[in-house]
Copies of this chain bind each other. A is one copy, B any other.
Amino acid sequence: MRISELSRRSGVANATIKYYLREGLLPPGRATAATQAEYDDTHLRRLRLIRALIGVRGLSVAAAKQLLDTVSQYQADTHQVLGLVLGIPTGGATSKAPQDAEGEGGEHGSEADALLTALDWEVSEYNPARGVIDETLETLRSLGLDHDWRFLLPYAELARRTARLDLDELESLKDPLEMAERAVLLTFLLEPALMALRRLAQEAESMVRHGETASPSPDSCAAQRLSDEQG
């Protein structure tokens, strides 16, 4: 396809595509004339991944280029590719860190270590989400809630099921770049929606547990309408 069709199908402006070509984020097309080139589906998929990394994950062009270079090295390793695009630094082996390092599980490690050990989740020690767990528990304690990591166990079980839904959504895709793009979109864009679903569910659940039947029931509405019509 020509660059104009690549632009139309990817939703990325012509000028932006040319910029990505100059910066080396996108490999050059097959030259068909001095000023013309043909692009194919690999360009389209790569362009969509670039858009996800820059537009959704918020990476700089330079950081996206570096990441894409690393991704191409690991292209055959889906687990590595997903980790890379989702922002888990490589360099360390994935390991059940506290068990390996300290024998029986996390007394001297962070609370995230203890939680992950209890859950038997195999997670890189470089996953930045570990720090968020520790910080949250510390904040809750500073505000008088005396909870440790055990408090998060049932929440973690539900998070695991949520992650299974996320990964199920990727199963249908064969191309690793397409998978990577979808993973970025789902992980980052769904976050506000998942939190919104929790807020809506809290209201619905509070209604079930504490709601009074203060609002008129359908029957009394019908009675009201009837009396209005008659009156």
A185 in the interface, Cβ–Cβ < 8 Å?
Answer: yes
A7 in the interface, Cβ–Cβ < 8 Å?
Answer: no
- Structural contact, A129 and B200, CB atoms closer than 8 A: yes
- Structural contact, A94 and B194, CB atoms closer than 8 A: no
- Structural contact, A189 and B48, CB atoms closer than 8 A: no
A204 in the interface, Cβ–Cβ < 8 Å?
Answer: yes
Report which A residues bind B (CB closer than 8 A): 11, 48, 51-52, 56, 77-79, 82-83, 86, 88, 93-95, 100, 112, 116, 119, 121-124, 127, 129-130, 132-133, 135-137, 139-140, 142-145, 152, 154-156, 158-167, 182, 185, 187, 189-212, 214-216, 218
A130-B200, A197-B155, A199-B187 are known contacts. Are A144 and B218 too (CB-CB below 8 A)?
A: no
Q: How far is the CA of A108 from the CA of B185 in the complex (A)?
A: 28
- Structural contact, B203 and A124, CB atoms closer than 8 A: yes
- Structural contact, B198 and A162, CB atoms closer than 8 A: yes
Residues of B within 8 A of A133 (CB): 193, 196-197, 200
- Structural contact, B200 and A79, CB atoms closer than 8 A: no
A84 to nearest B CB, angstroms? 11
- Structural contact, B200 and A127, CB atoms closer than 8 A: yes
A199 to nearest B CB, angstroms? 4
Best-buried of A51, A159, A191, A212 by chain B (most CB within 10 Å): A159
Residues of B within 8 A of A163 (CB): 198, 201-202, 204-205
Q: How far is the CA of A133 from the CA of B199 in the complex (A)?
A: 11
Q: How far is the CA of A143 from the CA of B185 in the complex (A)?
A: 9
- Structural contact, B79 and A182, CB atoms closer than 8 A: no
